[in-house]
Chain A
Amino acid sequence: MNGVVLLEPDVLIDRIGQMGKRADEVIPDDPIGLEARIHRIKTLLNCVPTPSGTYEARRERYIKIQGELLALAAFGGESEALSFAPAFLDTYFKLIPPEKRLFEYKLRLIDEV
């Protein structure tokens, strides 16, 4: 289990929304490009690991999508990132089983302190 905190979809959407509000922030140069990023996210969302995979593998996949969405927003693609919200919501329920959700939520709270 890597050290990255798992963000629930509503928390991620909130964070992306906050990024959009910082009008004065300078957006860094994007080495990859918005189009490529969007393509990556679409690919990741379309092939979700089977339910029989290990929790670690599924968590890793979720974290990867989470990271890509945050990066897309950080490089100026907030609205594009927000447009993935419904699909990301679905992915949360597909990848993270009910018994792990409360645990991840509590981990996030500890991390934020």
Chain B
Amino acid sequence: MSEIKIKDKSIAVPGETLAVGMDTLPGAGTYRQDEKIIANRIGLAVVEGRTIKLIPLSGRYIPKTGDTIICKVIDVGFNGWRLDTNSAYSAMLPIKDATSDFIARGANLTQYYDLGDYLVCKIVNVTSQKLIDVSMKGPGLRKLKGGRIIEVDSNKVPRIIGKQGSMVMMIKDAAKCNIVVGQNGIIWIDGEPLNELLAIQTIKKIEKESHMSGLTDKIKEFLEKNGNAKN
């Protein structure tokens, strides 16, 4: 007979017993020790059918295959570029994945992407050694020109994007800015200076109040109030 020991959607700390018995399976962020399922990190406990898992509330970005991230070029080599991913691990962008244009062997790679450039790329593979391969071939993947870059807690990114992009859409419309949100917590904003400021303030507000209910309405209100003042 299984027993869930923790209230659904409550905080669990490492070592805390979440469930007892063999009727529940350990999901992400948890592990089994005999009959007990124990928290493997700090997080929000969520019961999903027969599995109990923890949603991370803090922690640096851990690169995942399939994520779209914004990286900075930190090294230009002969076969590709090395990029900073805002995590403990850098990424490799090989020539063949850099662009749909043809790049001749021995070409000067800085013509395409140079040190300090910010790129929107997709993680195509993360090995067990945490070596990351990225690609720029795909819709929306490109070098970012102009605008400005801010950093947020990567755990808050889902809130900033919103359901099916609804939250970030709302900010883009109200602030009349181009915005790209990287899963790694790096965000690019491009627009008129005052509008960029509004977008940044809004994003920082979401980051701070991400846990509160009714956030969407609060942000809508915030944008209306401050958006008019700027126009």
Contacts and interface: CB of A to CB of B under 8 A. Distances in A.
Interface string A1-38: 00000001110000000100111100000000000000
Given A10-B51, A89-B51, A93-B50, A23 B125 contact: yes
Contacts of B35: 102
Contacts of A8: 25, 32
Given A102-B34, A102-B35, A24 B127 contact: yes
Contacts of A53: none
Determine which residue in B25, B27, B34 has the highest number of CB atoms from chain A within 10 A of its CB, and name it: B25
Nearest to B21: A98
Contact of A22 (B26, B50, B128): B128
B26 A10 contact: yes
Interface string B1-27: 100000000000000000001110111
Nearest to A106: B34
A102 B22 contact: yes
Contacts of A18: 128
B1 A89 contact: no
B51 A23 contact: no
A105 interface: yes
A42 interface: no
A101 interface: yes
Contacts of B127: 21-24
A89 to B, nearest CB: 6
Given A18-B128, A21-B128, A24-B127, A10 B34 contact: no
A10 B25 contact: yes
Interface in B133-147: 133
A56 to B, nearest CB: 19
A9 to B, nearest CB: 6
B29 to A, nearest CB: 12
A52 B128 CA distance: 43
B126 interface: yes
Nearest to B32: A105
A32 B49 CA distance: 34
Contact of B22 (A23, A89, A98): A98
A89 B26 contact: no
Interface string B30-57: 0010110000000000000111000000
Interface string B103-131: 00000000000000000000001111001
A23 B133 CA distance: 10
Contacts of B34: 102, 105-106
B126 A9 contact: no
Nearest to B31: A10
Contact of A21 (B25, B50, B51, B126): B126
Contacts of B22: 98, 101-102, 105
Given A10-B26, A98-B21, 12 more contacts: A8-B32, A10-B27, A10-B32, A22-B127, A24-B127, A89-B49, A89-B50, A89-B51, A93-B50, A98-B23, A102-B22, A102-B35
Give 5 closest A-B pairs by Cβ, nearest first.
A101-B22, A21-B128, A10-B25, A23-B127, A23-B125
